Amino acid sequence: MGLWFFRNALQNRITSTMVLHNAAPAPDVVEGTILNAADPQAALLATWNSAKIVQREVALRVFSQVIPDEKPLPPAFDDLLQSAALDPDANVRETALGILRSRKHPALVLLAAAQLTDPDPQVRLLGLNALRSVAASVGVPTAISILDDPDPLIVVTALKLLETWSGESFDVKLSGVIAVANPQTGLQESPATAQPMAEAGAERARTWWRQYQAEYQEAAVPPARRPLPAVIAAGDFELPTLEGRPVRLSDYRGKVVLINFWTTWCPACLSEMPELLALQHQHQSNLVVLGVSLDFVPDEHGDLDGPPPVEEQGQAPAAKAAPKLSGSSRQRIHDKVARTAAARKLDYPVLLDEYNEVGGRFNGGELPTTVIVDAQGNISRRFVGARSLPVFEAMIAQAAAPEKK
């Protein structure tokens, strides 16, 4: 029995070490390593401190299983959660804010309010949604502060929160600002009537606020220590271009690098390519865009060739690729990516991630995934979903700032 226990403990230590050092582990393996550890709290903390994208996301995902909401937070985990709420990875931010909200954490208002000044409207929405459970005395002034936001969805979301807290009606509907696909660009855009409705509702709310402001406390955010977000090194990688030229991330040290993970069959991926092209053309001196194709990655059924490119969907189906990458199937996928790159007039480097080495590291299976690396080689942002050119511009400006806080 003693020998079996020793071997089992040794095997667990070996597995844990491999998971912590693996650049692109399977998420379920990371989860099992944490939950089955002799000390799950220590395993969770070590996994988080690995400073790797996949490991950190899984650590946050199982956080409440390791430390249930009704249990007090040890100081190290309190610091972890608060730092995670300002993380470069938007998925980590969302999970951390959800945990803080479910625990009714006293720093929630501060950390939710911090999201409201972010250049990414999706992050600002995270902040508003995190405020839903706070007291009206602090929620109302915080929501009032964002009524000048340029995104009508942000404004109307804030107005609906104000309606809940105040019992007033500002005559707005969330259904009136839900984005729809632009038939020309493919990007998700708010209806033309969304902005006027949001502005009118905001003006009604400001009128109400002038009358009732004295009933709410003046400070929207109680004093608290604001933690610093984590610094995560992007590391290095090498992938070939369509022409076979090797490209390394470190080749572009000193510039901001935007890494965009995409496939030929993902409409949202293709819809944002004009924005990425415009971004690259406007910032050639200090920005590099790298488009990493994940067309070689098998789907959930193990099929390699995937759907046809968006431009070719509806045509006669091509022959299915073999289960494993033979020379012919490899060439077929290469040609499919090349056709899409030519059709979209992509003049930034298109890289082929044949073995999902880079996609797996940055968790690029969700599409489109974008990672912005600053000039020092650290991850400035990671997020899922298409963004507009003005949002990209603001993100790049923030990543290029000499001191980002």
Q: Return the residue matching tokens 């002034």.
A: 141
Q: Return the residue matching tokens 């956080």.
A: 63
Any domain includes 202:
yes
Whole-prediction pTM: 0.89
Give the pLDDT score at 303.
61
Any domain includes 315:
no
Cβ neighbours, 10 Å, residue 393: 17
CATH number where 255 lies: 3.40.30.10
Give the pLDDT score at 366.
87
Residue ranges of the chain whose pLDDT lies below 70? 1-18, 183-187, 217-226, 299-306, 310-327, 364, 402-405
Give the pLDDT score at 13.
56
Sheet holding 379-384, edge to edge: 350-352, 287-293, 256-262, 369-373, 379-384
Task: Say yes or no: 202 and 263 in one domain.
Answer: no
Any domain includes 273:
yes
Is there a contact between 292 and 353 (Cβ–Cβ < 8 Å)?
yes
Closest listed residue to residue 379, CA positions, set 238, 234, 246: 234
Any domain includes 396:
yes
Give the pLDDT score at 320.
45
Task: Say yes or no: 196 and 295 in one domain.
Answer: no
Any domain includes 21:
no
Give the pLDDT score at 341.
97
Tokens representing 311 are 């431009």
Task: Say yes or no: 189 and 327 in one domain.
Answer: no
List C-alpha distances in Å: 229 to 81, 93, 207, 381, 403: 10, 10, 37, 11, 13
Task: Say yes or no: 257 and 339 in one domain.
Answer: yes
Give the pLDDT score at 304.
65
Using a CB cutoff of 8 Å and minimum separation of 24, what contacts does 143-147 make? Answer: 144/205, 144/206, 144/209, 144/220, 145/116, 145/220, 146/116, 147/202, 147/205, 147/206
Any domain includes 289:
yes
Give the pLDDT score at 3.
47
Q: Which domain holds residue 395?
A: 238-310+321-400
Is there a contact between 360 and 26 (Cβ–Cβ < 8 Å)?
no
Is the Cα torsion angle 347, 349, 354, 360 positive or negative in sign?
Answer: negative
Domain boundary among the residues 202, 232, 262 is at 232
Task: Say yes or no: 373 and 302 in one domain.
Answer: yes
Torsion angles phi and psi, residue 354, rounded to 5 = -65, -35
Q: Where are the alpha helices (DSSP H) in 22-135?
A: 27-35, 40-48, 53-61, 63-66, 75-84, 90-102, 108-115, 121-130
Domain boundary among the residues 198, 232, 266 is at 232
Tell me the helix, strand and coil percentages in the chain, rounded to 5. Answer: 50, 10, 40
Give the pLDDT score at 1.
52
Cβ neighbours, 10 Å, residue 9: 11
Torsion angles phi and psi, residue 367, rounded to 5 = -125, 145
Task: Say yes or no: 210 and 296 in one domain.
Answer: no
Task: Say yes or no: 327 and 181 in one domain.
Answer: no
Torsion angles phi and psi, residue 155, rounded to 5 = -65, -45
Task: Say yes or no: 287 and 328 in one domain.
Answer: yes
List C-alpha distances in Å: 51 to 17, 77, 94, 369: 14, 15, 18, 19
Torsion angles phi and psi, residue 142, rounded to 5 = -70, -45
Torsion of CA 5, 6, 10, 13, to 10 degrees: 60
Domain boundary among the residues 191, 214, 232 is at 232
Any domain includes 366:
yes
Task: Say yes or no: 339 and 390 in one domain.
Answer: yes
Domain total in the chain = 2
Is the Cα torsion angle 188, 389, 376, 263 positive or negative in sign?
Answer: positive
Task: Say yes or no: 131 and 270 in one domain.
Answer: no
Any domain includes 85:
no
Task: Say yes or no: 358 and 390 in one domain.
Answer: yes
Residues 6+ apart with CB under 8 A from 151: 121, 124, 190
Task: Say yes or no: 192 and 220 in one domain.
Answer: yes
- What pairing do the DSSP bridges indicate for beta strands 188-189 and 238-240? unpaired
